[in-house]
Homo-oligomer: A and B are copies of this chain.
């Protein structure tokens, strides 16, 4: 397959395979025999590296295959049957998981987002409104909070914001769950002031995303307080989320957390996204949102979008008006500099004659 004729790949951050270290390690260890279901030595080594990176020596860590799977498993495990999960209306679980949370029996209690984010005040107000509603016993009880870092809009919670949310959650007995599907891009971002250790300190459960961050696939579910969720292994199995050859996840996360790779793997993607944003504006175009991570949201005329589509793969985000559209260009750890350069050079050709 000739890649030279292919379009420039900016449609998402899961279009390539894995970091070369991972491929090499998978090849080297291929015929070693090991125990199944995550009880192998590779997985244990990976867990130990993650505990160190999170400064959380007692953390319980489970490796799952995908993001929707991890979200549904964690949420079903944390909630009682009469409870729902608070999430921004733009949350992945609210829109793009085909009703996986409802299939587990739980309502997603959406709050209007601000650039993809929730605030502590919103959560507090929702809890207050619930408690004060004379009919609240006839309603779904808010049972936990879901948020993502970075958000679906590429924004970041600051340490202060996350701390306030965590405080509201703890004061009200609600577990706080962070979906870190793109966490490496947060950690690599100069604007970010929330470390892995902070997350482990402030959240009850969180995921460290592999799929979009250098792995072939895999999300590490971290439960800082060991034993916090009784029966979690069985819940994972019940959700069809227990990989027989768990070693494959262990090997990948062992490599991702060797020499702090995970904390740096997103850096080029962040830099490239910054260059794309700058070039886009320099060409006289508008960004729809200006966000600091690896997603670039461009407002573009439909006729220009068609020209762009001849050479570039990008994501459709939403219709802006009859004449214009918001598109998303995503960079990743695998994005190549020459592609970024070619992309940027093409921006000036888009203008309508």
**Contact A81 B73, CB 8 Å, known A18-B30, A244-B67:** no
Encode A53-75 as 1/0 by CB contact (under 8 A) with B. Answer: 00000000000011111111100
Question: Chain A contact residues: over half helix, strand or loop, or mixed?
Answer: loop
Chain B's closest residue to A96 (CB) is B138
| Chain B residues within an 8 Å CB radius of A12 | 36
Q: Which of A103, A134, A140, A239 has the most CB of B within 10 A?
A: A103
Encode A194-231 as 1/0 by CB contact (under 8 A) with B. Answer: 00000000000000000110001100000000000011
**Contact A66 B30, CB 8 Å, known A80-B230, A100-B237, A137-B234:** no
Q: For the complex, what is the distance from the CA of A36 to the CA of B11, rounded to whole Å? A: 10
Q: For the complex, what is the distance from the CA of A23 to the CA of B26, rounded to whole Å? A: 8
Cβ-based interface call for A16 (8 A): yes
Cβ-based interface call for A102 (8 A): yes
| Chain B residues within an 8 Å CB radius of A70 | 240
Chain B's closest residue to A233 (CB) is B137
Smallest distance from the beta carbon of A162 to chain B beta carbons, Å? 26
Q: Which of A9, A105, A240 has the most CB of B within 10 A?
A: A240
Cβ-based interface call for A243 (8 A): yes
Q: For the complex, what is the distance from the CA of A6 to the CA of B138, rounded to whole Å? A: 26
**Contact A135 B27, CB 8 Å, known A9-B33, A66-B244, A242-B68:** no
| Chain B residues within an 8 Å CB radius of A66 | 65, 240, 242-244
Cβ-based interface call for A320 (8 A): no
| Chain B residues within an 8 Å CB radius of A141 | 231, 234
How many A residues are at the interface, by size bracket?
35 or more
**Contact A240 B238, CB 8 Å, known A17-B30, A138-B98, A245-B217:** no
| Chain B residues within an 8 Å CB radius of A100 | 237-240
| Chain B residues within an 8 Å CB radius of A138 | 96-98, 234, 237, 242
**Contact A32 B137, CB 8 Å, known A17-B245, A103-B105:** no
Q: For the complex, what is the distance from the CA of A95 to the CA of B138, rounded to whole Å? A: 8
| Chain B residues within an 8 Å CB radius of A106 | 99, 102
CB–CB B240/A241 < 8 A? yes
16 A-B residue pairs with Cβ-Cβ distance under 8 Å, sorted by A, are A1-B41, A16-B31, A66-B244, A70-B240, A82-B98, A96-B135, A96-B138, A97-B138, A97-B240, A98-B140, A99-B106, A102-B140, A211-B244, A217-B244, A217-B248, A240-B241
- Beyond known contacts A1-B41, A26-B26, A100-B240: 11 more, CB 8 A cutoff: A15-B33, A66-B243, A72-B240, A81-B103, A82-B231, A97-B238, A98-B139, A98-B237, A99-B105, A138-B242, A211-B245
